[in-house]
Structure 1
Amino acid sequence: MVGNWRNHSNLRSFLSRTTPAVPVYTLPKTGSQDLYWQPILQSKVEYFNLVDLWDQYSEWSAYGLGVPIILDNCDSVVQYYVPFLSAIQIYSSKSHALMSSTLEDNERESFSDDSESEKLSRSSDAVSDDSLSDQEVSLSTRHLLGQLYLHYIEYGSPYGRIPLVDKVNELAQMYPGLRTLRNVDISPASWMSVAWYPIYHIPSSRNVKDLSACFLTYHIMSASFRENIVPEEMVEESCSTNVSNVMQKKEGDNSISLLPFGLATYKLQGGLWMNHGIADSELMSTLYNAAHCRLKQLGVEHHDFDFFTTH
């Protein structure tokens, strides 16, 4: 199980600081009948709005997020990272998908000078489920996942990307559900990946190559996390996410933390980031395997994940 991190290594300090916490609200019993995912019967249903999730990244996108790092000589610096939207998939109910498609069509009619054939082509590309071909995922699995509302993978160079909030605002022009949906409206298969790239550290230190490490964090976006979101017979025995409790709420706190269920790294030197022993190594392995398995289960080729893995 991943959770209850204490800042006793730079890796855990990074994971703790980059975990978003969003305000939660209570859904009246009368409003729980229309949920895409019906939670186990309970006295109340708590939820958060996706727009509040993006707001958590607003300041980080504008100024960077500072992560305290202890160097080998016991000096400390604050390393600043900028978050970028690396990938996102939102699965929702058909009603939400159709509603959003209608809004998208209206926007295209109002703001696009493209020909009708170009509009139809782009519309088809936007809502097609390229990552889940009929050969890879059965119809029953598609029903379990829900309707693919949004599929976005970033392929651009890190130097040419715009910060996460700016990208979300851009996508929201075609996918307004990014600002109107609640996490209880979407499937447990919904997820996103955030790429964290370093920009500077204070105080400035020369020749600290280990501070050039980059990270991919993976977060669920629904009210529930399913380790295997495809039928068990389709999951390889060695490919289990083995992660639970990735949404945590503290006692007396009206917010919920979206701990990453997966992680990939680039240019990371273990000596600086991980403590000696096996705890941090096991954490890294568990999170990496969870990301790998989730992508494999969904049939997604995640460009940044492949790059981080092979470089």
Structure 2
Amino acid sequence: MGGQWLGEGMPSSNLQCFLDCTTPTVETHILPKTNGRLPTDAWHHAEMDSVEYFNLADLWEQYYEWSAYGAGATVQLPGGDRVVQYYVPYLSGMQLYTNKVLTASRSFGEDNGMDLWSDDEDNEKMSRSWSSTSDESLFNCDVLWSNRKRPGHLYFEFFEVGSPYGRVPLIDKVYELSQGFPGLTSLKSAELSPVSWMSVAWYPIYHIPYQRSVKDLSACFLTYHTISSSFQDHGLETMTTDCCHPVANGKQNGHMDKKSNTVSLPPFGLAAHKIQGSLWTNPMTGDRRKMDFLFSAADSWLKQLGVQHHDFNFFITHPM
């Protein structure tokens, strides 16, 4: 785990510590069948007696303290000293697909006010986008591929295009957007299509104790998370090998912890900005391989959905 010694003389993984410290863990609930059937607004879960889900409102609450004070990740410096670097989360991008039309889907950002994917013709466009993706794609797993022709109705879409200095923290942004889209705080993960996702931008604010000239502490990150019960149950566990997946709180990415009735949502994708040296890519800890894998996963995901993610594009064109 991040912040731990891997062995005598072996440095800890700063990247893994960051991933661990910025991974939300949400309380789960059981959605039972009624008269032998799941509610019609629940996304398809074949041959299941019940579905374990979490409320989106509970997910956002995990970001409440981080939005106010920052999420602290322990970073081991080259000289052996350690600092706690704090990051503020900002909502960078999100797409929520539902089983049925809840309201007119609207896009926020550069195309603020434009209706997208709100009828059958638009869903066919999405279908063609999925169909044109190579079968050798990283995300060619059964749960996603079986839904590529019907990803659902795009209830909500948001891509931040403003300067980081003019943004409000994630919790504030979500509640601001929920005034026009109440589903942001009322939906259950079981009501969302497997292609529903969000991206969080993490920008550093301060570190303790203060270090004068450690440039790598100014690194910024984009994390990508799936927020559908279907995807957590079936997709992530079969998509990659354990050596590539981050583990948070002892639980594999998206795995439901039956004992504590929680689910952790570590990122399936990652992009970084202002990365220099080896502070975040130490070859002795496998960070370089992990970062490359998670970056490729994010890139593949966005390409499959035909998404232009403003922050992602900025990160890859301004890596330093």
Question: Normalization by structure 1: what TM-score?
Answer: 0.79
Displacement of 1:225? 2.4
Secondary structure (helix, strand or coil) at the match of 1:87 reads strand
Alignment: residue pair count: 276
1:249 aligns with 2:253: no
Q: How does 1:1-311 map to 2 (within 5 A)?
A: 7=4, 8-30=12-34, 32-94=38-100, 97-98=101-102, 100-101=103-104, 125-128=114-117, 133=125, 136=129, 143-225=149-231, 242=240, 246-250=253-257, 252-277=259-284, 279-311=286-318
Q: Which amino acid aligns with 2:91?
A: L
Secondary structure (helix, strand or coil) at the match of 2:150 reads helix
Displacement of 1:37? 2.3
- Cα gap change, 1:127 to 1:255, in 2 (>3 Å): same
Deviation track 1:58-93 (CA, whole Å, cap 9, x = no partner) reads 111111111111111111111010000000000012
Q: Which residue of 2 aligns with 1:234?
A: none
Aligned residues of 1:132 and 1:300 also touching (Cα < 8 A): no
Q: Which amino acid aligns with 2:300?
A: C
Displacement of 1:179? 0.8
Q: Which amino acid aligns with 1:249?
A: M
Higher-helix-fraction structure: 1
More off after superposition, 128-137 vs 54-63: 128-137
Overall identity of the aligned pairs, in %:
51
CA distance in structure 2 between the partners assigned to 1:212 and 1:131 by the alignment: 41
Deviation track 1:157-203 (CA, whole Å, cap 9, x = no partner) reads 00001100111011101111001100000100000000000000011
CA distance in structure 2 between the partners assigned to 1:183 and 1:303 by the alignment: 25
CA distance in structure 1 between the partners assigned to 2:90 and 2:112 by the alignment: 24
Aligned residues of 2:151 and 2:193 also touching (Cα < 8 A): yes
The 4+ residue runs of structure 1 with deviation greater than 4 A are: 4-7, 126-135, 140-143, 241-245
Mark the runs of 5 or more structure 2 residues left unpaired by the alignment: 5-11, 132-145, 246-251
Q: Which amino acid aligns with 1:185?
A: E
- Cα gap change, 1:310 to 1:132, in 2 (>3 Å): farther
Displacement of 1:285? 1.3
Displacement of 1:261? 0.4
Displacement of 1:280? 1.9
Deviation track 1:191-240 (CA, whole Å, cap 9, x = no partner) reads 000000000001111011110000000000101229xx9xxxxxxxxxxx
CA distance in structure 1 between the partners assigned to 2:123 and 2:95 by the alignment: 10
Displacement of 1:249? 3.2
Displacement of 1:276? 2.4
CA distance in structure 1 between the partners assigned to 2:3 and 2:285 by the alignment: 16
- Cα gap change, 1:143 to 1:177, in 2 (>3 Å): farther
CA distance in structure 2 between the partners assigned to 1:41 and 1:88 by the alignment: 29
CA distance in structure 1 between the partners assigned to 2:181 and 2:240 by the alignment: 32
CA distance in structure 1 between the partners assigned to 2:112 and 2:94 by the alignment: 19
CA distance in structure 2 between the partners assigned to 1:218 and 1:122 by the alignment: 22
